[in-house]
Structure 1
Amino acid sequence: MPRRPSGEEPHPIEYPDLFAASYIVAGQWDLTKVEPLADDKLWIVVAQGDDSACPGENKITAALEKEGAEVSRAVWDGGATAAQFATDVAAMAAKGTSINYAALKKGTVVPAGETDNSISNHLSTWTIAYNIEGIREWIFQQHR
C-alpha cells in the first residue's frame, strides 16, 4: 500500500479490497470514482440538513444501484435513544443488503442552542453516528 500523509486513513475508494465493510459518515466523494464500491459492504449515515453530504450521498447511492448494488434506505431521528437506534439498525440490517443508507431527519441533528444550518448538521452527524453501537457491530460482523 502506498504511504499516506501522517494521520490520514486509507480511503475505501482508493483501496476497495482492504476492508470487509466501511462506515461512511457525512461523506462527500467524487461521484466518478464510486463504481468499484458497488460490490462492497457500506453503512452510510448523513443528516438531511447537510446541504452537501446528503444530496451527494443520494447521487452516490443511485450510482451504486446503477452498478447493481442493492441499497436499503431509512430516515432516522437524530435524537433517538440508544434503544431506538438499536431497533433502527436491526430493522435495516435484517433486510440483508450490502449497502445501508440512513439519513438523520432534518431538525433532529443539531444540539439545542446551536444554529441549525448545513455546517452544523454536517459536523453534528459524526457525534451521533459514531455513537450508534449497532452499526459498529454490523461492520465487525462483515467478512470478505
Structure 2
Amino acid sequence: MIEWFDDLKVGMQFKSDGVTVSKDDIIRFATEYDPQPFHLDEEAAKNTILGGLAASGWQTAAIAMRLASSCRPFGPHPLFGAGVDDLRWLKPVRPGDTIHLEGELVELVPSRSKPHGVARIKWTAYNQHGEAVYTFNPIAIVPSRPK
C-alpha cells in the first residue's frame, strides 16, 4: 500500500483504465481552449499536416492528467507538481480513439530540509492500437511519512 514518499520504489509501474475521445469532445474542447481549424472542422483539418480532425495536444495532456490522477500513484495524496519535462505529442488523437496511460517510477529524491520528496514517473499515453501518442515526465512532490 502506497501512502507516503517512503513507500515508493524505483521501477514501480502504473496503468490506467482507458477513455474514448469523441468528435464532440474534440470540438467542444477546441472551441473553448484551442480554436484552430484542425481541431474544429473535419474538412479544414484534411488540408493540414494532421490529415484530419485531431484533438488538441492540450486536450490530450488534460486527459493524461486525469488518467494519471485515477492511477493514484501516490496513494491518498494529490498529484502536486513542480514542472514537467520531456512533454511530447507523438501522434494525433482522433475521434473514436481510446487512450490509456502507463507509467514507470524512474527517480526518487528525498528532500534534506522539507517533509517530502520528489518522484518522477515517466508516463506514456497509448491509443487502442498500442501506439504511443503522448509522453510526459512530471516532477511530483510527495509527502514523507510523518516522524
TM-score by length of 2: 0.26
| Greater Rg by CA | 2
Which one has a larger percent strand, Structure 1 or Structure 2?
Answer: 2
Which one has a larger percent helix, Structure 1 or Structure 2?
Answer: 1
TM-score by length of 1: 0.26
